[in-house]
Amino acid sequence: MRKERLVVPIIASLAALWMAAQLLSSILFEYSLRQALSDLNARGEWRMQRVESHPGWLSSNGRIVISPLLGRPWRLEVPYQARHGILSTAIEGDLLPRLDTRLQQAVGDVSVPFYPRWQGRYYTLGGRTELRLALAPLIIEQNGRELDIRDARVRIEGVYGDWRVNASLDQLTLSDGEAGLQLGPVELESRYTYIEDAYHFNQRDHLHISTLSLDHPELDLEIQPLDLHSEMHLDERELRVTGELVIGDTVLKEDAPDTPILTGRVAAELSRINADSVRQIFARLSQEAAWGDTAMPVADGLLTRLEPLMLEALQDSPRLDITTINLQSPLLEINASASGALFFDARDLQELSLVDADNEAMQARWRSRLDGDITWEDAPSIAALWLGLPIGTRSLTFDLVAGNWRVNGRPLPEF
């Protein structure tokens, strides 16, 4: 009898624990979602707004709208449904692209046979999230043009402060009359790490295109492969951006299919962009977007209001290091191996203006702030001939002095 009396309290206790775990799972999911949207908004590139939210301890649903921070030419609506479990939450939803009225009028009717769905899972204990999107073959038609996407897949996973994106597609084809562009297979790997409010962040991206083929009545070109590496790093002192483009064998399919016209790599780094000014620009852009509405998301005169901050971002004299230019053309029998650096003179920034950048005098003033040099080693004789130098010149030094180019001490000839 005593054991039977314990059954009901035990069952009640287990039920209470289950309900508490379900409630905790729901609360943690909601907190993680709010935190993720806040952190992504802090980057200052996109506006992510949850316009609907209906949380519950067994299930939740809502709708998120993603759009460019400046302007609303398009938006992506993401309705979602979440089913909460003790250890994880299953999430699913749709992706609904929308165009604003003016862009819709400009591009005409866009036909999409169906909208893609996505699935994901949030793990309660570790706070880890996984999202997966797989697209069946998709064809989009618009005014005689056609975009054909084959087997696109996206996977997003991570925890607070560390997110990874892996995307791939088998083939993408853009057709416009007799012209066509074909890519594929394509792979994108991206990792984004950050601290609260993206005060410091680091983003690394690698885009790999196995084959890029351009078919045009005047040009048939194919590149195998094409790789783009980039890294953006914001720390206490500066924003630094590095990039590398690796070009595989580039051939003219009709004229010279067996001998590449170009191959090689180019690498560069932009540094000394003032970090505090960058953070203030991101904050101001977010504020401007929050003040706007759907019809006029950003008020007129934005550039005028941002100009002081944008000029202050240059206060540490940014530099562009061209670490590697290594290009070869077996078809033309020309090689280019060069490196150098360009610098911006940040003195008296108040004399410069972005608002008046269309003015020729202001453009000349900006150019006068640029200095640097690029050296081309083992240049071919034909390059020296083009530049009006002795035909035996093998080293070409391009000097930029107050915005004016010189080559080996001589003014650069006009072509």
Distance CA 320, CA 8 (A): 73
Residue boundaries of the structural domains of the chain? 1-180, 257-415
The closest of 173, 125, 166 to 148, measured between CA atoms, is 173
Give the rounded percent of residues in the chain with a pLDDT score beyond 90.
38
- Six-digit token pair at 407? 């080559």
Position of tokens 């530049």?
A: 387
- What are the tens digits of pLDDT across the range 73-104? 677 888 999 888 888 888 888 888 777 655 45
| Overall average pLDDT of the 285-313 stretch | 72
**The pLDDT value given to residue 144:** 74
- What are the tens digits of pLDDT across the range 219-246? 889 999 999 999 999 999 999 999 999 9
Distance CA 239, CA 274 (A): 6
Position of tokens 């072509």?
A: 415
**The pLDDT value given to residue 296:** 44
Distance CA 172, CA 178 (A): 17
pLDDT at 9 over 70: no
Distance CA 374, CA 321 (A): 10
Is there a contact between 323 and 276 (Cβ–Cβ < 8 Å)? no
| Overall average pLDDT of the 3-8 stretch | 57
- Six-digit token pair at 182? 């074909």
**The pLDDT value given to residue 176:** 85
Any idea what DSSP says for residue 413?
P
pLDDT at 197 over 80: no
pLDDT at 123 over 80: yes
pLDDT bin (cut points 50, 70, 90) of residue 184 is confident
Distance CA 196, CA 390 (A): 59
Position of tokens 């609260």?
A: 196
pLDDT bin (cut points 50, 70, 90) of residue 297 is very low
- What are the tens digits of pLDDT across the range 42-56? 666 677 888 888 888
Q: In sequence order, what DSSP letters do the residues of 110-165 get, joined into one string?
A: -B-S---EEEEEEETTTTEEEEEEEPPPEEEEETTEEEEEEEEEEEEEEETTEEEE
**The pLDDT value given to residue 371:** 95
Give the rounded percent of residues in the chain with a pLDDT score beyond 70.
85
Taking CA atoms, 280 is separated from 43, 116, 239, 274, 285, in Å, by 11, 37, 13, 10, 9
The total number of residues shown for the chain amounts to: 415
For the beta carbon of residue 12, count every other beta carbon within 10 angstroms. 10
| Overall average pLDDT of the 126-147 stretch | 78
